[in-house]
Amino acid sequence: MGSLFEKLQGIGKALMLPIAVLPAAALLLRLGAPDVLNIPFITKAGGAVFDNLALIFSIGIAVGLAKDSNGAAGLAGGIGYLVLTSAVKAIDETLNLSVLAGIISGIEAGVLYNRFHAIKLPEFLGFFGGRRFVPIVTAGASIILAAIFGVIWGPCQAIIHAVGEWIIGAGVFGTFIYGVLNRMLIPVGLHHILNSFIWFVFGEYANPTSGVVATGDLNRFFAGDPTAGMFMAGFFPMMMFGMPAVALAMYHAAKPENRAKIGGMLASVAFTAFLTGITEPIEFLFMFLAPALYGVHAVLTGLSLSITYSLGVLDGFGFSAGFIDYVLNWGLATKPEMIIFIGLGVGAVYYVIFSWAIRHFDIPTVGRYDEGAAESVADENLSDFSEKILVALGGTENLAEVSNCVTRLRLIMKDNDKVDEPTLKAIPGVKGIIRKGQALQVIIGLQAEQVANEIRSQQK
């Protein structure tokens, strides 16, 4: 299970690189739209990303999986995708791997890069050794994959289409299940894998103007599908109103003498959730303190999605369900004004439940008992914070791999026994850790990338 978690953690981390381009693309797409600035070439610029999403995934995932994030892996991923899709089409024109082709090619290229990037060939073939060999072997592997998928993908495509249609057709129930699973996978960082299928694979829409076929809820939403957005709209009430309400409940549950200390921190994470839709800084404040309460949060998220959909609200986002995306995508949404009213109700429910649970079960949330709990990385130099984490991890010599996503360090350890877990958890600014085999995640918030970069700089 530990090895499986490491592999899934790697894929989840790699997915973040191509997904990171979507906010910029969505911004261009919306700013150039007729209902905003009406500048067609800006819309086309943003649309280019969505039209080539599978290729971008193949490049981004390959780079994300490569041990040293080398561009040769990205080149191999792009070549693998082009070979795979062209060869499959030559076998059967009706086959369409869509974004899955990009994901498969990216994983293939990343794995092959890690295996062959230092290969040595005979002297007369020396030019093609090392990293130059990776695109070659990836192209060869893609030909083999194309031969396999050309035979098996017809039935697989039918099954995936049927599953997607069932999930979409399940309506209220489907959105509820997705909302619950989305939050339940957050602690282990595997929600990106689930999101990739829902947002980029399930469901199809052919743009009547360009003829381009878009797949997945997010992709179809920005392609103009009037039925898309059912798996995204419900996140707006939870992220813009529910999570800030949780922060407010924690503030009111804290000791009066501690509220001045924690007020700024809680206001910051609440505003981050409202504005950008990044909720992990709040969620990790109670996720490990009260797992059952986090389970309630997952159910409430599912209910937010199902209620929003049942009221006919459809909306989408390029990054996350925050106020920025809410404003930008107003013109594409269906009944976007309802999100405010739903959000107020969702916020009230969150506040009542969390206020009651924190006091009734005496949950030691920030400011209730530990006066030092309000400390944050802002109170000290970031380099000092990184150094403390590095020491608790057993030093650079104990790190096999170092990477990050938005709010957490993703690490592969050489020796788990050298990790000082109590010290690591006690570092102000560390909100939690997750361990599976040699894989270790350290949740630290939005400064994760800077900390990862500083730790990597110490390895050189």
- Cβ-Cβ contacts under 8 Å for 60 (sequence gap 6 or more): 14, 15, 17, 18, 19, 20, 21, 74, 77, 106
From 72, 266, 293, 405, active-site residue: 405
Alpha carbons 107 and 177: distance in angstroms, whole number: 27
Distance CA 155, CA 101 (A): 16
Distance CA 276, CA 269 (A): 10
Closest CA to 350 of 402, 389, 297: 297
Q: Which two tokens stand for residue 315?
A: 């909306």
Question: What is the edge-to-edge ordering of all strands in the sheet holding 408-413?
Answer: 399-404, 408-413, 439-443, 432-436
CA distances from 316 to 58, 92, 207, 313, 347 (A): 24, 34, 17, 10, 20
- Run of H or E residues at 400: strand 399-404
What single DSSP character describes residue 211?
A: -
Q: Of 223, 214, 221, which is closest to residue 99 (Cα–Cα)?
A: 214
Active site residue 156: no
Residue (of 371, 365, 243, 252) closest to 304 by Cα position: 243
Q: How far apart are CA 422 and CA 410, in angstroms?
A: 18
Contact 339, 236 (CB under 8 A): yes
What is the rounded CA–CA span in Å between residue 318 and residue 23?
5
Place of tokens 């059967």: 92
Active-site amino acid positions: 405
